[in-house]
């Protein structure tokens, strides 16, 4: 799920950036350092939407670097147990498949895939129904439900299932080929 939150961070800036564009340099460094990162508490930082305030800088002794407290607004993505997501399959093996929904990677075990789907090995490994009408392979789009998350300091891992009503393949790239 996406949230719009306010965060704070202390930014260090080298003395060569001091001048009329100090604020712009600080905002550019903030975007470079923060966007695309993950914190276990808030989730993945998707984008910074605005800078609320930049506090007074504190000069670091001996280095000349200045530390500025920065308060900013950002959009974060944090998956929750029970959430339904649409994801793209990135890898299929006999244990299950991995899919990505934005920055998060989700593993779906073969025990959490419907019983009528069998693993087919070969040059393009996939899970196929007995009648061949539905196929899960690399680049397939699937709708899945998150049944578990594990949060580390800098990463979020998810386990998903497609063994429920209205879950499974949305778009199969192999069907149009």
Alpha-carbon distance 168 to 94, whole Å? Answer: 17
Tens of pLDDT, residue by residue over 159-173, are 999 999 999 999 766
Tens of pLDDT, residue by residue over 93-105, are 999 999 999 889 9
Alpha-carbon distance 45 to 126, whole Å? Answer: 33
| Residue 174, pLDDT above cutoff 70 | no
Last residue of a domain, one of 26, 43, 77: 77
For residue 17, the enclosing domain spans 2-77
Output the six-digit token pair for 148: 């578990």
Domain of 134: which CATH number? 2.40.50.140
Tens of pLDDT, residue by residue over 30-53, are 999 999 999 888 999 999 999 999
> Do 57 and 88 share a structural domain?
no
Last residue of a domain, one of 46, 77, 108: 77
Q: What is the pTM of this model?
A: 0.82
Exposure string (b/e) for 49-61, b if CB count within 10 Å is 16 or more? eebeebeebeeee
Last residue of a domain, one of 43, 77, 111: 77
> Do 91 and 166 share a structural domain?
yes
């Amino acid at each position: 799920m996406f949230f719009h939150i306010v965060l704070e961070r202390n930014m260090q800036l080298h003395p060569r950036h001091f001048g009329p564009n100090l604020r712009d340099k600080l905002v550019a460094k903030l975007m470079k350092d923060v966007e695309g990162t993950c914190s276990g508490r808030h989730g993945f930082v998707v984008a910074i939407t605005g800078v609320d305030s930049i506090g007074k800088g504190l000069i670091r002794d001996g280095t000349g670097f200045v530390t500025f407290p920065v308060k900013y607004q950002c959009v974060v993505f944090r998956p929750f147990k029970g959430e339904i997501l649409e994801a793209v399959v990135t890898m299929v093996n006999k244990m299950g498949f991995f899919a990505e929904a934005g920055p998060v990677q989700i593993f779906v075990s073969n025990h959490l895939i419907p019983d009528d789907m069998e693993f087919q090995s070969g040059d393009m490994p996939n899970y196929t129904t007995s009648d061949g009408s539905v196929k899960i392979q690399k680049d397939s789009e699937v709708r899945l439900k998150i049944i578990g998350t594990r949060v580390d300091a800098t990463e979020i891992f998810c386990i998903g299932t497609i063994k429920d009503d209205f879950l499974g393949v949305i778009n199969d790239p192999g069907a149009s080929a």
